[in-house]
């Protein structure tokens, strides 16, 4: 079964709240960050922390304490705390959709999140999938499937593979998937067991690392970075 603990949808709501609203914000990075058990719980917390939000929010704006609209790069104008009431209304959609004996594929969940959940795009859907995998709700995907999603996103991790010479520009989904799989296999062979355990190595972590390489290489030449590794 692909289910969260309990039947009230609270766990799914909190995942949507984190990735769809709070991620990257001062609030999410503070000691005050917490799980909300009801929408009323959130509203009470918001009211009680009004002065903190006004003080710590950029330019004294409360909303900016809870929301960083460019947390994923481009500014998301629809990203706001108002989405929390929408996510609360959608919290049971996971259980009604995936209450089945067999687990869905990661690709199926990714597509469903993008098409069903408000203001969840390709990148945030992939990150939610990663969260669900790490939490044991979904099974760890094969490198081939995760590589296929990297092609679908056409974002940082794919660009890093191009910069590293692993794929050509305009590579097909199959080519990207094969290259990502080969990279994963090579790292499994080169890294020692204790090194993989220390970094919690898996394909989710590898995709995150590729994104970071893209960000770093936008500031410095990629060859300089590789010489330091």
> How large a percentage of the chain has pLDDT more than 90?
66
Task: Enter the pTM of the model.
Answer: 0.86
pLDDT in tens, 100-144: 888 889 999 999 999 999 999 999 999 999 999 988 889 999 999
pLDDT in tens, 5-46: 666 899 999 999 999 999 999 999 999 999 999 999 999 999
pLDDT, averaged across the chain? 88
Question: What is the per-residue burial (b if ≥16 Cβ within 10 Å, else e) of 211-229?
Answer: bebbeebeeeebeeeeeee
Cα 65 from Cα 60, distance rounded (Å): 9
């Amino acid at each position: 079964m692909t289910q969260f603990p309990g039947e009230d949808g609270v766990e799914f709501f909190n995942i949507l709240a984190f990735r769809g609203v709070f991620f990257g914000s001062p609030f999410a990075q503070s000691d005050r960050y917490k799980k909300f058990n009801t929408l009323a719980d959130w509203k009470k917390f918001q009211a009680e922390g009004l002065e903190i939000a006004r003080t710590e929010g950029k330019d004294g704006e409360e909303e900016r304490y809870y929301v960083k609209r460019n947390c994923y790069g481009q500014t998301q104008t629809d990203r706001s705390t108002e989405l929390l009431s929408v996510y609360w209304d959608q919290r049971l959609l996971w259980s009604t959709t995936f209450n089945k004996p067999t687990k869905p594929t990661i690709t199926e969940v990714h597509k469903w999140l993008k098409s069903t959940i408000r203001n969840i795009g390709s990148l945030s859907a992939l990150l939610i999938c990663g969260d669900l995998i790490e939490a044991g709700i979904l099974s760890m995907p094969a490198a081939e499937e995760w590589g296929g999603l990297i092609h679908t996103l056409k974002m940082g991790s794919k660009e890093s593979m191009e910069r590293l010479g692993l794929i050509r520009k305009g590579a097909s989904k199959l080519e990207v998937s094969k290259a990502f799989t080969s990279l994963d296999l090579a790292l499994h062979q080169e890294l020692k067991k204790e090194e993989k355990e220390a970094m919690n190595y898996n394909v989710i972590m590898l995709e995150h690392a590729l994104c970071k390489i893209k960000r770093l290489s936008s500031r410095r030449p990629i060859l300089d970075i590789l010489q330091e590794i």
